[in-house]
Structure 1
């Protein structure tokens, strides 16, 4: 039965043929993989079905209760933790977007991976940049110790590639909508050119529905989301020219990992005097989760496909003879769409009330206080900003009224002022024991965070209308969004599983320990011992 469309099979084989064998007593290549929206719940659900790439990783060091420990469980903050060893309060990446009233343009929304100083830019039409990331990454630590180390970052999203790659990369490529792109002025490697041409040819041809494994069949049933639309029984059939459907399909991750394999081969990563770093951001799971939810036939197919694609990547690396270590995790978890959860009997949850959107809330407050709107900026949860044009007295009145209104709403768990969040001590215990305030404190930046931080009740989905775009999302302080797997593998290592909570900020110092590298900056994470025997990764 054919589960994968091998759009990059020829390129993967090409990558394998280019690589040459070389063994070394210490790892010569570090491979870090982030699977966007790969929750601990997804790992638990499909763990018994994995036979290829995931199966290999599960034979290594397994931390099933990894945590994106902070409160802002979005893509950009999550990726900023993986290779910096630092939580968002230190990285400065508090969300995918935030409000900066001092931004030098009319649009005061700042996208996490942009340069707001570029003339004519906006948060929707931006120039990709690493300038908002305040800390160095593992790749930069490696280059500081050994200037010959090379860093390659490839991802389906610019924010994933940038936040994991950092400020000093040799190659950095992300999906630009119809092909992989990079910073302006960078030469395009032949591998990228071939990949983009192969994708264009593939997308130009309509694709039939994928075969459904028997394990997925019970998950295939239509879930009504309104307007006569359903999700839950898709199999990734695609019309010719539909790049959006390509992005939300297993083919997308196959192209990302194949490009990484090709660059590995062409650049002979892991075959120089110094250890190299290959970073891969697989984004399809997130696009699928947002578009159709996490528990239908679509996600089931994606899990089987990604297992196979990871297996292909590892086969290329194995054939090269390079000694490599792998770490795999995720930037956040996710919540299934409430329509399916309701059918399954889940208590509570639902779609967010439009009244909680900051602009709508602000209009009501402005009318009551006799002020000119807008007085509030932001979304339906998370950071909410008070308009800086208000006088101190008006600001105080707006904050008081907003706090009272949010607190009284049944879909709101809590609302905190920035002063409350800032005054909260840094947490000391394991991430699963943190309070909500402690979680929020670790994604708080005084220059970027809101005046109020609104926390929705568990299982409230901050998408009002699923017929207008995405049907499900993430971003909350709750465990389903915070818990992610953390997996390490290296040939010859003794496998073990540690069920206690650890953090994604522990990944970078752990890899530094594997490399015998001193961490050159203050971080939040700790080294995890990957040797269950008498040895110690963290010496």
Structure 2
């Protein structure tokens, strides 16, 4: 009898274990986070008919697209953009308030990922002296590592160091970026390792960038078909050094000498192709997606940003870049199918910011657009402090549309910091092309729930930001009258694509407003792990299969 009972219990336990095993939550073998630097949402619609079936259109048709996703903070730059995508929060929490910013304690400008405690791995230069130490919260991949007891791999890659490092997080196995100039090498930092893996060394020896730059950049199709762009020969674009006009064709072999040799790869579509080449090498070299644990790869395409800055939103160069990127993405997606397996990976695609139409071009169409006279603005501020506080020495730094006051000087003069800041905020709105100004004190004591002030507040960090923050008019830049830039909280800079695709993702689209900070908690929920520890975004339920 006891034997029978024991046997029955054994069977029940066995069945229970079987059920538990089947009930275990299946997860993708690989998560791929793709960020396209400076991609506006309307590039998806503007060039839709020219994209093939294997790139953007593949994930749009078979994934889930958020058609009204925005950055919910400013400034909209590369570093805070990447940090916010992967931490699920804004600069007010993660601390990456710009690419470079004025450090109030050190009294000098600092770079978001610079760290002299580490050395370059891959060559003897100093461009590898980097780490993610200034990012104060965890990333999605950090949480995945913690959930898997540090098993599974996380790797970030980009031509830009800050894009690779901030996306990959603190616990990453590696972040790789491209050291151009005369070096032509993918490198890393001793923060991650002491020696480059053999597969990276082999990739560098292939010298793919050299073959790309010994070619000519001509349009992929007949230039007459680029009807979504301005005429190729126009006054709103910057030249490459050595080119009389910013027109096609561009003889890269001839131009590379006057454009930093391998630096030129950044400002041509081949920079994106090189990034895809390296992404494939990463997957094979590290055997990503081949174990029982979920791996994480972040891929940031930087050439789109360099090209956008130089030529602007409506250039033939920009259109051709995205048509070529579409082909690169198709190649990458097919590679993932073959190497990791259809249905075994989840990916999301977004951008770190968008961009404004070239203001001088808008002006030519009688559309309001502006250029801020930054030198005149600095002189105007000095005039204010002299007039009201009898001193021209109260300003310590002006950068990133922020004013940092010299606290020691104010104390020596018996001036109240908040009084000085408020007077500046009251007066500088009278300067040409300044729309709003607000003090740090106001941002600390007032809760702005929507609009441009909410966007500003989400980008404000009490520890790092300035004493007065400034918002210019829409379509206002500081730079010259050719090419474009970004950084504002207006829709042309904040509206970006967000597309989810692959395992666990529904097919569909949504017109609801979502924030960029919603990506990380959504993927965390898909993976059944904790969201990043500073996450302030929400789970996008309609994206996920249930």
Q: TM-score by structure 1 length? A: 0.84
Q: Residue 4 of structure 1 aligns with which residue?
A: none
TM alignment of 1:472-483, pairs within 5 A:
472-483=484-495
- Does residue 417 of the first structure (1) align with residue 439 of the second (2)? yes
Q: Residue 327 of structure 1 aligns with which residue?
A: 348
Instruction: Give per-residue Cα distances to partners, 1:252-311, cap 9 Å, x unaligned.
Output: 111112211111012111111101001101111111111111211110111001100011
Cα distance between partner residues in 2 of 1:127 and 1:321: 33
Shift of 1:402: 3.0
Instruction: Give per-residue Cα distances to partners, 1:24-55, cap 9 Å, x unaligned.
Output: 95311101000011111322312332213111
Does the 8 A contact of 1:325 with 1:490 survive in 2?
A: yes
Q: Residue 207 of structure 1 aligns with which residue?
A: 215
> Number of aligned pairs?
491
Instruction: Give per-residue Cα distances to partners, 1:405-458, cap 9 Å, x unaligned.
Output: 42102301100000111223263xxxxxx2222111111111101101100000
Q: Residue 115 of structure 1 aligns with which residue?
A: 115
Cα distance between partner residues in 2 of 1:516 and 1:340: 48
Cα distance between partner residues in 2 of 1:485 and 1:365: 42
Secondary structure at the counterpart of residue 390 of structure 1: helix
Cα distance between partner residues in 2 of 1:235 and 1:502: 40
- Does residue 302 of the first structure (1) align with residue 324 of the second (2)? no
Q: Which of 187, 197, 210 does residue 205 from structure 2 map onto?
A: 197
Instruction: Give per-residue Cα distances to partners, 1:306-351, cap 9 Å, x unaligned.
Output: 10001111111111243111100011111122222233x2521122
Aligned-residue CA RMSD (Å)? 2.8
Shift of 1:111: 1.4
Q: Residue 222 of structure 1 aligns with which residue?
A: 233
Secondary structure at the counterpart of residue 378 of structure 1: strand
Q: Residue 371 of structure 1 aligns with which residue?
A: 391
Cα distance between partner residues in 2 of 1:112 and 1:271: 34
Cα distance between partner residues in 1 of 2:48 and 2:78: 23
- Does residue 439 of the first structure (1) align with residue 441 of the second (2)? no
Q: Is 241-250 or 446-455 further displaced after alignment?
A: 241-250
Shift in alpha-carbon separation, 1:125–1:174, aligned structure 2, 3 A: closer
- Does residue 386 of the first structure (1) align with residue 386 of the second (2)? no
Q: Residue 267 of structure 2 aligns with which residue?
A: 248
Shift in alpha-carbon separation, 1:520–1:111, aligned structure 2, 3 A: closer
Cα distance between partner residues in 1 of 2:321 and 2:212: 22
Shift in alpha-carbon separation, 1:400–1:453, aligned structure 2, 3 A: same
Q: Residue 22 of structure 2 aligns with which residue?
A: none
TM alignment of 1:157-168, pairs within 5 A:
157-168=160-171
Q: Residue 45 of structure 2 aligns with which residue?
A: 44
Shift of 1:194: 3.4
Cα distance between partner residues in 2 of 1:212 and 1:520: 41
Q: Residue 127 of structure 1 aligns with which residue?
A: 129
Cα distance between partner residues in 2 of 1:233 and 1:374: 47
Does the 8 A contact of 1:101 with 1:388 survive in 2?
A: no
Q: Residue 9 of structure 1 aligns with which residue?
A: none
Shift in alpha-carbon separation, 1:402–1:205, aligned structure 2, 3 A: same
Q: Residue 137 of structure 1 aligns with which residue?
A: 139
Secondary structure at the counterpart of residue 476 of structure 1: coil
- Does residue 484 of the first structure (1) align with residue 511 of the second (2)? no
Cα distance between partner residues in 2 of 1:424 and 1:270: 47
Secondary structure at the counterpart of residue 436 of structure 2: strand
Q: Residue 453 of structure 1 aligns with which residue?
A: 469
Shift of 1:223: 2.4
Cα distance between partner residues in 2 of 1:495 and 1:346: 41
- Does residue 521 of the first structure (1) align with residue 533 of the second (2)? yes
Q: Residue 512 of structure 1 aligns with which residue?
A: 524
Which stretches in structure 2 are left out of the alignment for 5+ residues? 1-24, 120-125
Q: Residue 13 of structure 2 aligns with which residue?
A: none
Q: Which of 175, 180, 186 does residue 178 from structure 2 map onto?
A: 175
Which stretches in structure 1 are left out of the alignment for 5+ residues? 1-23, 428-433
Cα distance between partner residues in 2 of 1:361 and 1:116: 37
Shift of 1:354: 3.0
Cα distance between partner residues in 2 of 1:257 and 1:35: 12
Q: Residue 367 of structure 2 aligns with which residue?
A: 347
Shift in alpha-carbon separation, 1:90–1:437, aligned structure 2, 3 A: same
Cα distance between partner residues in 2 of 1:281 and 1:460: 27
- Does residue 284 of the first structure (1) align with residue 299 of the second (2)? no
Secondary structure at the counterpart of residue 497 of structure 1: strand
- Does residue 257 of the first structure (1) align with residue 273 of the second (2)? no
TM alignment of 1:306-321, pairs within 5 A:
306-321=325-340
Shift of 1:389: 3.4
Instruction: Give per-residue Cα distances to partners, 1:136-186, cap 9 Å, x unaligned.
Output: 111111111112121010012111111111101112101223322210353
Does the 8 A contact of 1:357 with 1:378 survive in 2?
A: no
Instruction: Give per-residue Cα distances to partners, 1:334-389, cap 9 Å, x unaligned.
Output: 1122222233x25211222234554x44444465555354724123x522211233
Shift of 1:523: 1.6
Secondary structure at the counterpart of residue 408 of structure 1: coil
Shift in alpha-carbon separation, 1:231–1:373, aligned structure 2, 3 A: farther
Does the 8 A contact of 2:209 with 2:265 survive in 1?
A: no
Q: Residue 14 of structure 1 aligns with which residue?
A: none
Does the 8 A contact of 2:418 with 2:441 survive in 1?
A: no
